């Protein structure tokens, strides 16, 4: 389906995104572990006592607590949606050249029923829009034009709503990061309120969580905004190309001007 999610493709994309995240973690952890192969005496004991994550990947995955894992989930969903949108919504699948050539050949031969059947037998965006108009040939040019326009608007709305989920994740991720920041600061002030002489080490844990969740939220939000902007621009180009195809098909049925 053009406007709805292809759940099988989305599921595969989600698994691919999850495996990519795990593979990245293994690579980064291997890279971080290599310099520490020969630690100085006593360093191993000191490292074992430290609870702070080491390396960017471990910081991203383990540093933000429960809120951090929610943000990581948002990142995996965003990657999966991006892969699915890229695979399912491109010109080759939405406006296949061979289908357009077959429809134009049928119209050139005045085989109108064949043209309608070709569009009806395809599930792509272009076929749906052309079928909406060609199936109204008996009702006049104006009705054909109206039907095509209405179907194009409906399909465009569905595609933008589908793409909007990536933009939604771009807005949710920093808000979750802010939630974690507030949570960390609450922990800090709670420590101050319940301790007579809190040390910097006592407050560091809450501040650490606050900063890491902010980092996680921005790390997810910024790529999501870039991806959303890219796909939105590509979608605009595709809809403009569809408009040109609609115009060329409709010109075949446009009534001659009366003198």
The percent of the chain in helix, strand and coil, each rounded to the nearest 5, is: 80, 0, 20
Provide the residue ranges of all domains of the chain, joining segments of one domain with +. Answer: 7-15+60-251
Ranking 34-38, 155-159, 168-172, 205-209 by mean pLDDT, the lowest is 34-38
Render pLDDT for 225-247 as a digit per residue (tens, 0 to 9): 999 999 999 999 999 999 999 99
Render pLDDT for 133-186 as a digit per residue (tens, 0 to 9): 999 988 888 999 999 999 999 999 999 999 999 999 999 999 999 988 888 888
Q: Taking residues 15-31, what's their average pLDDT? A: 42
pLDDT band at residue 106 using 50, 70 and 90 as cut-offs: very high
CB–CB of 64/216 below 8 Å? yes
Provide the whole-model pTM: 0.71
What pLDDT is attached to residue 63?
Answer: 58
H-assigned helices in 63-140: 65-88, 91-94, 97-108, 112-120, 125-134
In the chain, where do the E strands start and end? none
Element (H, E) at 185: helix 141-194
pLDDT band at residue 196 using 50, 70 and 90 as cut-offs: confident
Instruction: Please determine, for residue 53, whether its predicted confidence score (pLDDT) is greater than 60.
Output: no
Render pLDDT for 70-88 as a digit per residue (tens, 0 to 9): 888 999 999 999 999 998 8
């Amino acid at each position: 389906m053009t406007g709805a999610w292809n759940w099988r493709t989305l599921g595969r994309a989600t698994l691919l995104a999850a495996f990519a995240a795990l593979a990245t973690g293994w690579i980064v952890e291997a890279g971080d572990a290599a310099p520490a192969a020969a630690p100085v005496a006593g360093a191993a004991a000191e490292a074992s006592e430290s609870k702070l994550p080491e390396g960017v990947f471990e910081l991203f995955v383990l540093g933000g607590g429960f809120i951090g894992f929610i943000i990581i989930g948002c990142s995996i969903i965003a990657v999966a949606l991006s892969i699915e949108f890229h695979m399912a919504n491109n010109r080759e699948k939405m406006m296949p050249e061979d289908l357009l050539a077959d429809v134009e050949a049928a119209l050139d031969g005045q085989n109108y029923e064949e043209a309608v059947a070709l569009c009806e037998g395809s599930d792509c965006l272009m076929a749906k829009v052309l079928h909406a108009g060609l199936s109204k040939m008996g009702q006049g040019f104006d009705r054909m034009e109206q039907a095509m326009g209405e179907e194009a608007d409906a399909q465009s709305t569905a595609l933008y709503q589908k793409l909007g989920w990536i933009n939604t994740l771009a807005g949710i991720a920093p808000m979750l990061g802010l939630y974690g920041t507030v949570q960390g600061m609450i922990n800090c002030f709670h420590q101050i309120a319940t301790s007579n002489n809190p040390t910097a080490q006592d407050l560091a844990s809450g501040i650490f969580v606050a900063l890491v969740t902010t980092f996680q939220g921005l790390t997810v939000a910024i790529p999501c905004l870039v991806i959303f902007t890219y796909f939105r621009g590509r979608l605009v180009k595709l809809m403009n190309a569809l408009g040109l195809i609609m115009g060329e098909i409709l010109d075949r049925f446009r009534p001659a001007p009366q003198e």
